[in-house]
Amino acid sequence: MHINVRGTRKIISNVSSFTPRYEFPKYSMPLTDFKGHQVKALKTFEKLLPQMNMIIELRDIRAPLSTRNVVFDRIARKEHDVMKLVVYTRKDLMPGNKPYIGKLKNWHEELGEKFILLDCRNKTDVRNLLKILEWQNYELETNGGYLPMGYRALITGMPNVGKSTLINSLRTIFHNQGNMGRKFKKVAKTGAEAGVTRATSEVIRVTSRNTESRNEIYLIDTPGIGVPGRVSDHNRMLGLALCGSVKNNLVDPIFQADYLLYLMNLQNLNDGRTELYPGSTNSPTNDIYDVLRRLQVNKSQNEKSTAIEWTNKWRLHGKGIIFDPEVLLNNDEFSYKNYVNDQLEKLGDLSYEGLSNKLKGNPNQVF
């Protein structure tokens, strides 16, 4: 999908002679990282869903469209009557942007969705999510819903959006409540690269029975699931790459760096105070190779390694940059509800038959 964000010109750079790009080129790249083990996980999801009381889908706050997975919408069909909560992670990397949060609120109200923002490593944020789980469990039990298997929530999302980190944080809070002084081991494997969790884990308890509730609360960690190629496009793939939700070597680092530059120039977050890249305040440019030359510490550093270092820095620590350009558009220029409906139409009905064999060794597979 080609996005023209010319309508955002009023917020562009304070350097009057500079004009940012309003469209990004369609580089040749894979449009999906959907793999065989993810197909197996989706089959497991559908089997587990009737046992679930809640689906918690994690998305990266910097890329609300790229990290939204329409496959989960298709699986969690209305007949299952399962509550869904969207959790935007890495809120520490998007501080103080009230207009953006307001836009997210409007988007989710259109679809009747509930969402919260949190930092998966922040104890206060994680406790707030735990309170939501406890309250939903309490309401269910108040209405006569004793659950012999406990209250169960499925943790889903794209690769590397913080699922396992969140589960470990919730488990740590539970562990510290009744096991002071004992060494705690992580229950969910974490890592900085996509694809660390590759199988649906066993149930993980995060609360016990107490005087207020007979239901224990359990979480199920799941592998990150990408989207099929037919519902992806260049913007979505580049957004996922900048979030770290696809393998590092899948999208050329120069393409990633160029996309980051494109987004930076559009959003103009420096306001003349902080440089987003060397010279961004006084001499902004649309030339990624010019930026990479400015970033090079020494002559032995090549363009590709410089691009990797720069994008990794922003992926892990960069604050304030939105990775989906559609977010910059006005409501009359972009409809979130229409976008989601279009994604569902493109996805159609899921078919798993023989898909694993077709996917093997082919990251460009579209199904």
* pLDDT (tens digit per residue) in 238-295: 999 999 999 888 999 999 999 999 999 998 755 555 789 999 988 999 999 999 999 9
- Summarize pLDDT for 166-219 with one digit per residue, the tens: 999 999 988 776 554 455 455 555 544 544 444 556 688 888 766 566 788 999
Looking at the structure of the chain, the number of domains it has is 2
- Summarize pLDDT for 99-141 with one digit per residue, the tens: 999 999 999 999 999 999 999 999 999 999 999 999 998 888 8
- Tell me how far apart the alpha carbons of residues 143 and 125 are, in angstroms, rounded to a whole number: 28
Residue ranges with strand state E in the chain: 54-60, 83-89, 114-117, 151-157, 203-207, 217-220
* 169: in domain: yes
Residues 361, 224, 154: CA angle, nearest 5 degrees: 140
Among 177, 162, 174, CA closest to 204: 174
Q: What is the pTM of this model?
A: 0.85
Looking at the fold, whether 19 and 69 belong to one and the same domain comes out as no
Looking at the fold, whether 191 and 260 belong to one and the same domain comes out as no
Looking at the fold, whether 171 and 237 belong to one and the same domain comes out as no
**What pLDDT score does 365 carry?**
35
Contact 60, 254 (CB under 8 A): no
Tokens at 199, concatenated:
């199988």
- Spatial CB neighbours of 187, under 8 Å, sequence gap ≥ 6: 167, 168, 171, 201, 204, 221
* 183: in domain: yes
Whose tokens are 């199988």? That residue is 199
Contact 280, 270 (CB under 8 A): yes
Residue 158 domain boundaries: 36-220
Contact 59, 89 (CB under 8 A): yes
Residue 350 has pLDDT above 90, yes or no: no
